[in-house]
């Protein structure tokens, strides 16, 4: 109904994207609240995975990383000292859902989505692990800077990378930029 009111095909695609995104957002939060969060298995696993991977990077840099697993967070250590905890808000699950939702809702080849979404998950996870590693190091060397970097610096970096992944999808794989009008002017 709404799409029939809109005459421009590109605006129709954008409107359809927004409708799909809102519906998917609602479905995600219902599933998360009633299944994922209640069960907790995925969050506990991701908390542990991020902290364990960050511990590996700390080891690579000679900082003797370690973890203490728990139900609500996994604590990352340097040289036996507690540094930072990785809990549900910081494990990347919401970022995965946000990224995948955008790719699913935006136009594009389904086969491309099947490899681009896991690639995006890998990149987001790697960035999150590096963020966690850096936060542990900051806590170890200059704890007075931890709060600012946690809430601002690394939040901006992570969302900028997700935005770049989205733009890569839109510009290279969605076909959204390829229209007859664009071809004539090129």
Q: Quick one: pLDDT at residue 86?
A: 97
Whole-number pLDDT of residue 186 = 45
| Percentage above 90 pLDDT, the chain | 69
Question: What is the C-alpha separation between 54 and 136, in angstroms, rounded?
Answer: 9
**Dist CA 176 CA 106 (whole Å):** 9
Question: Which pLDDT band, with edges at 50, 70 and 90, does 8 fall under?
Answer: confident
pLDDT tier, 2 (very low <50, low <70, confident <90, very high otherwise): low
Which among 178, 90, 96, 99 is positioned nearest to 131, based on CA atoms? Answer: 90
Rounded Cα distance between 4 and 141, Å, is 59
Segment 87-108 shows an average pLDDT of 93
Position 10 scores a pLDDT of 76
DSSP 8-state code for residue 90: G
Please give the mean pLDDT across all residues of the chain.
90
Q: Give per-residue pLDDT as tens, 29-58.
A: 898 888 887 778 999 999 999 999 999 999
Q: Output the pLDDT for position 177.
A: 57
Rounded mean pLDDT of 83-98? Answer: 94
d(CA 69, CA 73): 7
Which residue shows structure tokens 């136009």? 107
pLDDT of residue 14: 80
Res 95 pLDDT > 70 = yes
- Residue 158 reports pLDDT greater than 90: yes
């Amino acid at each position: 109904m709404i799409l029939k009111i809109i005459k421009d095909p590109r605006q129709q695609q954008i409107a359809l994207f927004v409708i799909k995104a809102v519906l998917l957002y609602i479905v995600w939060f219902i599933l998360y609240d009633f299944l994922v969060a209640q069960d907790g298995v995925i969050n506990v696993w991701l908390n542990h995975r991020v902290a364990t991977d960050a511990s590996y990077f700390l080891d690579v840099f000679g900082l003797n990383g370690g973890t203490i697993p728990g139900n609500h967070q996994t604590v990352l250590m340097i040289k036996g000292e507690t540094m930072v905890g990785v809990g549900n808000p910081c494990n990347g699950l919401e970022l995965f859902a946000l990224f995948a939702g955008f790719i699913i809702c935006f136009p594009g080849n389904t086969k491309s989505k099947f490899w681009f979404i896991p690639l995006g998950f890998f990149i987001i996870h790697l960035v999150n692990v590096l963020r966690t590693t850096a936060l542990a190091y900051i806590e170890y060397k200059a704890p007075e800077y931890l709060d600012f970097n946690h809430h601002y610096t690394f939040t901006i970096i992570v969302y900028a990378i997700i935005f770049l992944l989205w733009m890569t999808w839109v510009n290279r794989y969605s076909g959204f930029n390829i229209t007859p009008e664009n071809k004539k002017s090129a």
